[in-house]
């Protein structure tokens, strides 16, 4: 028995053997058999509530991250390629200045063709004849001195910088994560 254990490279021995002889066969019992084995690792039991809480937290974190990414992306795009939006006091919105002036004319008798500012509200003055002369004068003075609406400056290079930053971040996180999964310290953290 000890030779069999050595041949099989088992770290163990047998110090007591009982042989029971019968008429045709023998029964061999190994009573003092000792061998080194690995200890069994305990089973890891995770409660269902912990799994559900983790899934809920991960989902909330992912949605929040996507929301922040959306806000960041729209802010970058708005600065990179600004879209002019014109909103009336009544809340109507358009991206066309001509349409904005048309919308303003629904609510005001006098609308500046340069900036779209309205004078003489149709609510305050139901007819053209009721508009006081001083409003006509201030409107004409405004139109003569109006410089128009200042256009937002476009920064098209900002979109390229943002995409580059995202790519560098994704590649960096992937590199550090792959090194961590391998069990190595990433080279960027070693002095």
**Residue 128 covered by a domain:** yes
**Which of 126, 94, 91 minimizes the C-alpha distance to 108?**
126
Q: How far apart are CA 11 and CA 34, in angstroms?
A: 9
- The predicted model gives 127-143 an average pLDDT of 87
**Residue 184 covered by a domain:** no
**Residue 43 covered by a domain:** no
Instruction: Kindly state whether residues 30 and 70 are assigned to the same domain.
Output: no
Binned at pLDDT 50, 70 and 90, residue 33 comes out as: low
Report the share of the chain in percent with pLDDT over 70: 84
**Residue 61 covered by a domain:** yes
**Which of 151, 82, 80 minimizes the C-alpha distance to 115?**
151
For the cut 60, the answer to whether the pLDDT of residue 188 exceeds it is no
**Residue 8 covered by a domain:** yes
Where do we find the tokens 């004078």?
119
Instruction: Kindly state whether residues 54 and 27 are assigned to the same domain.
Output: no
Q: 130: domain range?
A: 94-145
**Residue 74 covered by a domain:** yes
**Residue 114 covered by a domain:** yes
Instruction: Kindly state whether residues 59 and 28 are assigned to the same domain.
Output: no
**Residue 66 covered by a domain:** yes
Structure tokens at 45: 């039991």
Please compute Rg for the chain using Cα positions. Answer: 41
Instruction: Kindly state whether residues 98 and 138 are assigned to the same domain.
Output: yes
How many separate domains does the chain show? 3
pLDDT of residue 57: 92
């Amino acid at each position: 028995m000890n030779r069999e254990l050595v041949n099989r490279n088992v770290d163990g021995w047998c110090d007591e053997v009982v042989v029971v002889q019968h008429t045709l066969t023998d029964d061999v019992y190994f009573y003092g058999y000792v061998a080194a084995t690995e200890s069994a690792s305990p089973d890891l039991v995770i409660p269902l509530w912990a799994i559900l809480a983790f899934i809920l937290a991960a989902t909330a974190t992912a949605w929040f991250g996507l929301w922040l990414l959306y806000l960041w992306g729209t802010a970058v795009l708005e600065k990179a390629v600004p879209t002019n939006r014109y909103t009336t006091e009544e809340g109507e919105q358009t991206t066309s200045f001509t349409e904005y002036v048309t919308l303003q004319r629904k609510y005001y008798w006098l609308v500046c063709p340069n900036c779209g500012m309205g004078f003489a509200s149709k609510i305050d003055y139901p007819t053209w004849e009721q508009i006081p002369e001083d409003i006509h004068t201030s409107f004409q003075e405004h139109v003569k001195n109006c410089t128009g609406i200042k256009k937002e400056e476009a920064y098209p290079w900002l979109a390229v910088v943002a995409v580059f930053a995202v790519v560098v971040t994704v590649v960096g996180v992937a590199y550090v994560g792959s090194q961590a999964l391998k069990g190595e310290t990433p080279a960027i953290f070693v002095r």
